[in-house]
Amino acid sequence: MEEKLLEKIEQKIQNTISNKDDIKQLIAFLSDIDNSKSFAMGIVVGRLYNSFFYQTKRILNREPTKKEFEEFLVFIKNKKSALEDLW
């Protein structure tokens, strides 16, 4: 993944971690749908995927490639423990 794109995603992760009250509120609001940790992780990963896709289009002026998406998945997997601390 391009360095600038990676920096933006890392920024989004830090932003998500620092605004964990927003994430907790969103999870609590949707808890009647599903109250599991995997659902909560899905909310967080969905937010990060949206950022990944948007930033790829904004920075690189194109949609992400399959390779970039696979790199994004590895990146998220490596950040899993930090993301689980959000709730």
| DSSP conformation class of 27 | H
Distance CA 30, CA 27 (A): 5
pLDDT attached to residue 70:
94
Q: Are 53 and 65 contacting, i.e. CB atoms less than 8 angstroms apart?
A: no
Q: Are 42 and 86 contacting, i.e. CB atoms less than 8 angstroms apart?
A: no
Half-sphere exposure of 57 (CA within 13 A, CB side): 6
Tell me the mean pLDDT per 10 residues along the chain, length 87: 82 80 84 84 88 88 93 90 76
pLDDT attached to residue 87:
64
Q: Are 19 and 47 contacting, i.e. CB atoms less than 8 angstroms apart?
A: no
